[in-house]
Amino acid sequence: MSRPLPRYKQIEADLLAQIADGRYKKGSCIPPEQELAKQYGVSRVTMRKALEGLVAQGLLVRTPGAGTFVSRLPQAGKLPGVVSFADEMRAQGLTPRTEVTEFRLEPADGDTARRLGVEPGAPVYFFRRSQYADEVLFMLETSRMSAQEYPGISLQALQSGKYRYFQQELGRQVAYSRHTVTPILADEATAKAFGIPAGTPLLRDENTTYLDDGRILDFTVQVYNSPHYRLEYVRR
């Protein structure tokens, strides 16, 4: 049974949502700590802890004698179609970087076989990638892909972009992807990777991508660094 989220983390998440929704705009001053504590019905110690979490994430900045200001907004993805992370970030003026942290062949277990439409035990690529924008880690990604269907996948192809490889090198078009997005709380390992407190609310996205001939390209699980990145998208 999962433990309830601490009150200060609930407040932190609520303030983050208000910043993302535009109630508090970049450069604006948020209400004083004492006023917010009264608004949320908590002590100033609890309120200070919530604000410190947002300061640590770079979303708020304290200016002595002036107040606490919104220093930046969470990055939003607004995608008109199936677009790579790198292209999405470039379109928003950010510099992307992909780091492949794990890449191997393994036999498909029952769940992987079902998701990829292959036989259990069939060879599949397993790979993990870390996706950065302006050297901030935005996403952790774990993927599986049929090695029989796509035998030419290499570390270099994954580093430069799997969509780019399929579309530019193989002449295959990505048609659409199906997504299931769920909220999660950051465990210790994920929190350490993102540089955020354990228990911070994050988004987990399970998606299956299809090519224009109906074949499955891959099954991927993505965990988004929600304090830096939020989703607003339509996939076609």
The distance from CA 109 to its chain's CA centroid, rounded to whole angstroms, is: 26
pTM: 0.64
Question: What is residue 74's predicted lDDT score, i.e. its pLDDT?
Answer: 64
Domain segments of the chain: what residues?
7-70, 75-231
- Range 7-70 classified under CATH 1.10.10.10: yes
Average pLDDT (120-139) is 92
The tokens of 59 are what? 């979303």
Q: Which of 32-46, 78-92, 193-207 has the lowest mean pLDDT?
A: 78-92
Q: Which residues contact 53 (CB under 8 A, 6 or more apart)?
A: 8, 9, 12, 197, 200
The DSSP symbol for 100 reads E
pLDDT at 112 over 90: yes
Taking CB atoms within 8 Å and a gap of at least 24, the contacts of 198-205 are 199/5, 199/6, 199/9, 200/9, 200/12, 200/53, 200/226, 200/227, 201/5, 201/9, 201/13, 201/16, 201/226, 202/226, 203/230, 203/231, 205/179, 205/180, 205/181, 205/231
Into which CATH architecture does domain 75-231 fall?
Answer: 3-Layer(aba) Sandwich (3.40)
